[in-house]
Amino acid sequence: MDTEVDRTQMTAKFITFEGGEGVGKSTQIKRLVANLIKREIEAVRTREPGGTPRAEAIRSFLLQGKSEQWGPSAEAILFAAARLDHVNSMIKPNLESDKWVLSDRFCDSTRAYQGLTGGVPDELIDALETLALNGATPDLTILIDMDPELAFERVRKRAAEDGLNLPPDRYEKENIEWHRRLRRNFLDISRSNPERFVVVDGTQSVSDMESDIWAKVSERFSELAA
């Protein structure tokens, strides 16, 4: 493990996007990166699981369902292994060179999917989080919240427009009740961490959501105030 870094001395921020499938995370993270760069703030975008070559190798193993038979606790450990590499070889070095880092999913997805929805005990989730974050707690987490049925409509529309008929990944295959529970679990996590989270209404148009997110981010970080 590398040396502890005093994050309070850093100006670059670490922002994560969370929420279910199809709520608009990937769309909005690109817009927030562009809005930061427009203001001459260096910012990089990454994603989980993945974000580094080693972590991407674990990502494909996890998302193709090959790890399902291992059970949710072993999967949570695999996510943590991927995250530790992502934190140490991508997230921290960028923050240390004063680049803002924006991640499409991070630790709250493990807590929501494997922990609260998958039944992995809190103690294991807490221990893995401490280990894998290695001090890199997000400065801000943007939870995009909406009814999963509406979000799935969007995903289906995207696939149809792209002429795709891809097999669903393992989380897409879960039923709607499972996704409703996931939504409640993300909201519970946000209520337990009110100082870190902002919740954004995912039913807004793409540009309204972009403005809403920018208003919330610039309120949080005074250096962005125009």
Ligand X SMILES: Nc1ncnc2c1ncn2[C@@H]1O[C@H](COP(=O)(O)OP(=O)(O)O)[C@@H](O)[C@H]1O
**205 contacts ligand X (rule: CB under 6 A):** yes
**25 contacts ligand X (rule: CB under 6 A):** yes
Which positions from 64 to 83 touch Mg ion by CB under 5 A, shown as an x/- string? --------------------
**51 contacts ligand X (rule: CB under 6 A):** no
Question: Which residues within the stretch 23-42 sit at the binding site for Mg ion (CB under 5 A)?
Answer: 25-26
Residue from 78, 155, 187, 224 binding ligand X (CB under 6 A): 155
Of the candidates 137, 138, 144, 140, the residue with the CA atom closest to the CA atom of residue 199: 144
For Cα atoms 214, 27, 156, give the angle at the middle one, nearest 5 degrees. 140
What is the end-to-end Cα distance of the chain in Å, rounded?
Answer: 39
d(CA 24, CA 98): 27
**156 contacts ligand X (rule: CB under 6 A):** no
The residues, any chain, with a CB within 8 Å of residue 155's CB and separated by 6 or more, are 21, 22, 172
**21 contacts ligand X (rule: CB under 6 A):** yes
**192 contacts Mg ion (rule: CB under 5 A):** no
Contact 12, 98 (CB under 8 A): yes
154 binds, among Mg ion, ligand X, none (CB under 5 to 8 A by kind): ligand X
Residue ranges that bind ligand X, judged by CB under 6 A: 21-27, 154-155, 158, 204-206, 209
